[in-house]
Amino acid sequence: MSNKYKSLELKIEVKFKDQSLLENVFIHRSYLNEHKKLHLASNERLEFLGDSVLSLITSVYLFRNFPYLKEGDYTEIKSAIVKTESLAEAALAIGLNNYLLLSKGEEKSGGKTNKNILADCFEALIAAIFLDQSFEKAYAFVSNFLFRHKLSYLLENNLYLSYKSRLQEIIQAKYKKTPLYTVLEEKGPEHKRIFKVGVSFNNKKLGEGVAASKKEAEEKAAKKAFENISSL
């Protein structure tokens, strides 16, 4: 098999012993619908493992490099750095989108720039490096291609704090109370739920957010609340 991933391997400084493992990183489940005889599965199992490996790498990195931070800060930074948008950006920077195998329909609808697909692919690559090489090699990869520039920027500008945390800090400091988040609406099938969440304080609505998870909807509501914070 010709090594079509040679330029990628040079860029990420990893030479795979098992080329089929690397190939597996890029197989989206939609591709298998049109290629049922393919000898490989989708990248979903790798993505699942990569998510856990990334979590451990992030924890170890923060523990080693930022001993002065509090546990709560670690949690906030970790959430900010491993979120979908950050992983998708890193995937695009490396050019993982060029290797993605998608169904014709998925590709036509912009699958190669889909943030979720890109983020999943990045996590699958972390798992593949971990399995093919070692934890240390996966750690080095994540440090170089996710942490190096992004983490410094987040810390220097305090961007790791979520809107929800920042809103709570402001209200708590001034009123010694916390804002209230309420699910206003929940719709859609079980596998594709949409949540509408409102945030209020002293019975005054500050903002609303709509997203595919309660957590994300709360964050969007908190972001909106910042526009109304002066009215408190």
The active-site residue out of 76, 106, 123, 208 is 123
- The pLDDT assigned to 159 comes to 66
Distance, in Å, from the CA atom of 144 to the CA atom of 147, rounded to the nearest integer, reads 6
- In the chain, what percentage of residues exceed pLDDT 90? 50
* pLDDT score recorded for residue 186: 94
What pLDDT sits at residue 1? 41
So what's the architecture of 6-156 in CATH? Answer: Orthogonal Bundle (1.10)
Average pLDDT, the chain: 88
Res 41: pLDDT = 83
Residue with the larger pLDDT of the pair 140 and 168 = 140
Which range is least confidently modeled, 44-58, 65-79, 192-206? 65-79
Of 128, 120, 134, which is closest to residue 19 (Cα–Cα)? 128
35: pLDDT confidence band, cut at 50, 70 and 90? confident
Q: Give the residue, 130 or 104, on which the prediction is more confident.
A: 130
- Higher confidence at residue 228 or residue 176? 176
- Is 47 among the annotated ligand-binding positions? yes
Q: Which residues pair with 186 in a beta bridge?
A: 195
Task: Name the segment(s) of the chain with CATH classification 1.10.1520.10.
Answer: 6-156
Closest CA to 73 of 173, 163, 158: 158
Backbone angles phi, psi at 68, to 5 degrees: -85, -10
Which DSSP category does 101 fall into? Answer: B
pLDDT at 2 over 70: no
CATH 3.30.160.20 placement within the chain? 163-231
Catalytic-residue membership of 51: yes
Place 231 in a pLDDT band, splitting at 50, 70 and 90.
Answer: low
β-strands 180-187, 204-211 pairing: unpaired
Sequence-distant (≥ 6) Cβ neighbours of residue 68 within 8 angstroms: none
Yes or no: say if 56 and 72 are a contact pair by the CB < 8 Å rule.
no
123 is in an annotated binding site: yes
Interacting residues of 215 by C-beta distance below 8 A, sequence separation 6+ = none
Q: Is the pLDDT of residue 156 over 80?
A: no
- Alpha-helical segments (H) within 82-232: 84-94, 104-108, 115-132, 135-142, 150-156, 163-175, 214-225
Query: Would you state the pLDDT for residue 88?
Result: 93
Query: If we measure between CA atoms, which residue out of 6, 26, 1 comes closest to residue 128?
Result: 26
* Cα atoms found within 13 Å of the Cα of residue 118, Cβ hemisphere only: 24
185 noted as active-site residue:
no
Q: What's the mean pLDDT in 37-50?
A: 88
Q: Which class in CATH covers the domain with range 163-231? A: alpha beta
Residues 178-206 have pLDDT tens digits of 999 999 999 988 777 899 999 999 888 89
54-59 long-range contacts, CB within 8 A, separation 24+: 54/82, 54/123, 54/126, 54/142, 55/82, 56/135, 57/126, 57/135, 57/138, 57/139, 57/142, 57/143, 58/82, 58/142
Residue partners of 19: CB distance under 8 A and separation at least 6: 1, 3, 5
State yes or no: 218 annotated in a binding site: no
What is the tens place of the pLDDT at every residue in 106-132? Answer: 888 888 999 999 999 999 999 999 999
Per-residue confidence band for 152, with pLDDT thresholds at 50, 70 and 90 = confident
**Residue range 77-101: mean pLDDT, rounded:** 90
Residues forming beta bridges with residue 201, ordered by sequence position: 204
